[in-house]
Chain A
Amino acid sequence: MNGPISPIVIGFKTVTLLLGGLITYLAAKAARKTRSRALTYLAVGFGTVTSGSLLAGVADQLFGIDTHTALVFENAITAAGFAVIAYSLSVASRSAFGDR
């Protein structure tokens, strides 16, 4: 444990995880339906950002990894996730309907 975290931070983190999870779920559902590679990358990207945020919190709170390291870890995963999301656009742009 690295000291108490303000309820506001916990609240925003919870909303972030819920909404990130929802977007990931919808993208995965759309990807399965349309068998679109672009949407698969979108789902993977959002899933990465969301789970990175969750894992960093878990690492920080449960395993006592210092907050600075957890922040570096979280931001590295966020960057990787957004890279995948950006890549999904270049896959999608090859077909009008998102690469059926």
Chain B
Amino acid sequence: MRGDDSTDEQAVFEALADPDCREILATVAEPLPAKAVAQQCDLPQTSTYRKLEQLSEAGLVAEQTDVRPDGHHRTTYVRDCNGVFVALDGDDAFDVEVVSAQQSPDERLARLWARVSEEL
């Protein structure tokens, strides 16, 4: 993960360790408001809000503002990753990389080149 923030790393591990978080992550392939997430996952609303917050802090889910013509904007949540890579980085540190859903060309090049070198 960029910036080597150990708390981010911990947040990713904790979010993925939670079965409800994983179910939510699987559900929000399309942007959904929290209420709809709670309904589809059959979870109480309060814990759905808490877990969505947890997921977005871990950078796995993105919050969006849905602008509607009647002026009542609502917040929706959408998955913001294609997966997470975890590797042992040398001797002591874990290298955690959240693969973002929207990769820029330079990120794709970096990933591609890393993949080529892994085949050596």
Contacts and interface: CB of A to CB of B under 8 A. Distances in A.
A29 B106 contact: yes
A2 interface: no
A47 B115 CA distance: 21
A13 B8 CA distance: 46
A92 B116 CA distance: 9
A46 to B, nearest CB: 10
Given A33-B2, A90-B120, A93-B120, A98 B114 contact: yes
Nearest to A41: B113
With most chain A CB atoms within 10 A of its CB, the pick from B2, B89, B114, B120 is B114
Contacts of A33: 2, 106-107, 110
B113 A96 contact: no
B89 A39 contact: no
Interface string A6-42: 0000000000000000010011011001101011001
B97 interface: yes
Nearest to B113: A42
Contact of B95 (A23, A29, A88, A100): A100
Contacts of A92: 113-114, 116-118
A98 B106 contact: no
A68 B89 CA distance: 49
A26 B89 contact: no
Question: Size band of the B side of the interface?
Answer: 10 to 19
B113 to A, nearest CB: 6
Contact of B106 (A26, A89, A93): A26
Contacts of A90: 117, 120
B89 A95 contact: yes
B120 A97 contact: no
Interface in B84-120: 85, 87, 89-90, 95, 97, 105-107, 109-110, 113-114, 116-118, 120
Given A30-B106, A33-B2, A95-B90, A38 B85 contact: no
The 3 A-B residue pairs whose C-beta atoms are closest, nearest first, are A92-B117, A98-B114, A96-B87
Interface of A: 23, 26-27, 29-30, 33-34, 36, 38-39, 42, 88-93, 95-98, 100
